[in-house]
Chains A and B, each alone.
Chain A
């Protein structure tokens, strides 16, 4: 999908108008951002906004995450284990110490 984020009041207003007029091409609208359909028409709408508002419009292409395909098992397990922790106040870094779970800095340094 196409993620369109706006950075000015005018651009935000244009985006809202576009989403209102083209519901079929709008997957989701959040305040000053929206997800547009991954179609030529979605791209057309997004590029029109960029043409009109220049750098005040950011366009990114997103895709759903399949964690079983793209995320190492150790990360998935760490997330599951941490959300099942007994002490809700334990920060993750402390939780991971002395276990096989990856430490946050190491995860930050590795690209998906």
Chain B
């Protein structure tokens, strides 16, 4: 595969071949990436369309997690671990799960308010009763005190009715919330299953390419080791990124910003794909 890089404005040739060095052209990595994707008019890069794994693998040193790169490299080579079917099933089940939102906040507040109101009115009734009692004992006019007691008693009775209604509403809301939690419980189990299967799939993919990865590390500058248990990469992230790019099936060129190679030709040889150096 050859890569041809042209200026988008005047069509001038900036470089071509398997190893293109654009350092003198003042082009940045993002511009080249956009051009590879075919999303740029300022810069034209003629190359096959990148595979779907290129985004994760085509730019060593861009901060992508090294393990993500190795996993993507394994996928680009067509590996499909059996656990991916279970993962897909769990993801489907998770998507199809609907969770009812039950807001019990209003019923809790109503219940608390109703309880407070009943307490307050009980005290008011007691006070009104005491006042009536003492006016009777004094032989004073009780008309007003009786009316006040009757009024307080009526309001207490209304408040008690409201309290019962609030309790019933709260109980019903709590029952609905409890039922809705069953679905949330199922969702949590599915979320855990998806996470576990995803981890298993990543481990299986990394295991598939672990020998190829070790060989690739020998062919690129630096040191890195892929461990499958615990799953992780020890050593230099850039080395791991270069090794992952070497074992991957990328179609499109690697955009190299790493300074790890003596020349862009050496980079293209080492990675086994065309390289655009910026």
Contact = CB atoms under 8 A, between A and B. Distances in A.
B187 A55 contact: no
Contacts of A58: 177, 181
Interface residues of A, number: 10
A7 B195 contact: no
A9 B184 contact: no
Interface residue tally on B, bucketed by range: 10 to 19
A9 B102 contact: no
Interface string A1-16: 0000011110010000
A58 B184 CA distance: 11
Contacts of B191: 8-9
A7 B101 contact: no
A103 interface: no
Contacts of B177: 55, 58
A57 to B, nearest CB: 10
Contact of B185 (A7, A9, A55): A7
A74 B101 CA distance: 41
Contacts of A54: 101
A8 B195 CA distance: 12
B184 A55 contact: yes
A9 B188 contact: yes
Contacts of A7: 181, 184-185, 187-188
B192 A55 contact: no
B180 interface: yes
Interface string B72-103: 00000000000000000000000000010111
A7 B103 CA distance: 15
B195 A56 contact: no
B192 A9 contact: yes
Interface in B165-219: 177, 180-181, 184-185, 187-188, 191-192, 195
Contact of A55 (B101, B188, B195): B101
Nearest to A5: B181
A6 B192 CA distance: 13
Interface string A43-70: 0000000000011101000000000000
A39 to B, nearest CB: 19
Contacts of A12: 188
Given A55-B177, A55-B180, A8 B187 contact: yes
Nearest to A56: B184
A8 B99 CA distance: 12
Interface in A16-31: none
Nearest 4 CB-CB pairings of A with B: A7-B184, A9-B191, A7-B188, A55-B101
Interface of B: 99, 101-103, 177, 180-181, 184-185, 187-188, 191-192, 195
